[in-house]
Structure 1
Amino acid sequence: MSTRSTLVVVAHPNLAGSRANAAMVAAIGDLDNVTVHDLYAAYPDFRIDVAREQELLRTHDTVVLQFPLYWYSTTPLLKAWFDQVLTINFAFTFDGTASELRGKQAWAAVTVGGDPGFYTREGFNTVAVEEYLRPLQQTLGICQFEDLGHLKVHGLMTGALSDEDLALHAKQYRALLASGGSPATTLAAVNPCGDDHAAARVLARLAGTHEDQPVDA
């Protein structure tokens, strides 16, 4: 088990009715080093307690942003959270001095409705998911986080994601959070081709019942 404390900011408008996000949250709920923070449960009226949110960020080493891709972006409440919580002098500065977030790590856990082929030059959406995540990458960089990349899973709307693959993805998610691993380095090491589902199978076998072992070992 990692000694790093991790804040998982979950931003799904209907978590109870979701498939992938609910499975992912269920997989990590009992990890001692992880705080699961459901934004839509905390702020159904979008009245964000900025002081509370900033204190949560201060008291955790790593931040994971978990959300479904909505119209090529984050969900509305997560965008409002960025706008209201990541304020000047707390999250970023204009003069190059350290923000209160400098040295913390962050990564995204994204669920995607379309199949991988939808996000290619010839596909329905014409560009890769990574292109849609560039504003998020820029935000994390400006806020002086160490950006560890993202973990994604496809096929939620098309039915291409099987129950087996979803279970493996959730197990991979748990293993990453339990170990303090990085999705960028772990997935690249396991599967350079970038097939997250195949990587999930390998990492799930690596993790087994020994979640105190680093998944990228």
Structure 2
Amino acid sequence: MTTNRTLVIVAHPNLTESRANATRLAEIKDLDNVTVHDLYQAYPDFNIDVAREQQLLREHDTVVLQFPVYWYNVTSMLKAWIDAVLVHGFAFTFDGSPSALHGKKAWLAVTVGSTLETYAAEGLARRPLEEYLAPVTQSLEFCQLDYQGFHAIYGMIFDPSDEDLVLDAKEYRKLISTGETPVG
């Protein structure tokens, strides 16, 4: 039996100050089948090595995009990475032939400043988080990745307890180590 290799692409512009993301990463650091790749550390000048990034994607079975939701969107680095790396001929085709990403699993691991209640029809955001993540999920699916959903922790601006962060990180580890589908 082969081990599922997971690539965790971290796109947080201030990772050292993110308690939630740091706790998540600490929880998975000992997993042998996981490669953690910090885009802001690798490319502080945003000069993305496309060949390297595409090779990393080829070498893994599952891709997890880990990022904070900024203004209902991905971070600028993750957007730059998507634009540079997920290109025609590698990540998608128009003739129906399989891309290099065909059949690989993908999911999102997001941290959200506001509460879950904010992302409701009656909340400040006026729609669920899934709708704000739709451009990313559609891009993944267009690239023939098998989108699995997302794992979110809400309320980061309200300074969650260490206990809440640890519980979230343990769930994150379970999802990565077992290959279970996030419930979003």
Structure 1 residue 71: Cα displacement: 0.5
- Which residue of structure 2 lines up, in the alignment, with residue 104 of structure 1? 104
Q: Which runs of 5+ in 2 are unaligned?
A: none
TM-score, normalised to structure 1, is 0.82
* Residue identity matched to 2:44: P
CA–CA separation in structure 1 for the residues paired with 2:54 and 2:37: 13
CA–CA separation in structure 2 for the residues paired with 1:96 and 1:120: 37
Which digits, 9 at most, give the CA deviation of each residue in 1:25-46, with x for residues without a partner?
1111110010000000000000
CA–CA separation in structure 1 for the residues paired with 2:32 and 2:128: 35
CA–CA separation in structure 1 for the residues paired with 2:7 and 2:94: 26
Q: Greater Rg, structure 1 or structure 2?
A: 1
Which digits, 9 at most, give the CA deviation of each residue in 1:185-216, with x for residues without a partner?
xxxxxxxxx7xxxxxxxxxxxxxxxxxxxxxx
* Residue identity matched to 1:170: A
CA–CA separation in structure 1 for the residues paired with 2:69 and 2:42: 20
- Which residue of structure 2 lines up, in the alignment, with residue 165 of structure 1? 164
* Residue identity matched to 2:173: R
CA–CA separation in structure 1 for the residues paired with 2:140 and 2:45: 26
Which digits, 9 at most, give the CA deviation of each residue in 1:19-67, with x for residues without a partner?
1011111111110010000000000000000000000000000000000
CA–CA separation in structure 1 for the residues paired with 2:5 and 2:44: 26
Structure 1 residue 158: Cα displacement: 2.2
- Which residue of structure 1 lines up, in the alignment, with residue 135 of structure 2? 135
How many pairs were matched up?
Answer: 183
Where 1:183 maps in the other structure, the secondary structure is coil
Structure 1 residue 181: Cα displacement: 1.7
- Which residue of structure 1 lines up, in the alignment, with residue 124 of structure 2? 124
TM-score, normalised to structure 2, is 0.96
* Residue identity matched to 1:82: I
Q: Could you say what the CA RMSD is over the residues aligned between the two structures, in angstroms?
A: 1.1
Matches of residues 1-217 of structure 1 in structure 2 within 5 Å?
A: 3-159=3-159, 161-184=160-183
Where 1:30 maps in the other structure, the secondary structure is coil
* Residue identity matched to 2:80: A
Runs of 4+ in 1 over 2 A off after TM superposition: none
Structure of higher RCO (CA pairs closer than 8 Å, 6+ residues apart): 2
Q: Which runs of 5+ in 1 are unaligned?
A: 185-193, 195-217
CA–CA separation in structure 1 for the residues paired with 2:59 and 2:116: 36
Where 1:55 maps in the other structure, the secondary structure is helix
CA–CA separation in structure 2 for the residues paired with 1:121 and 1:148: 24
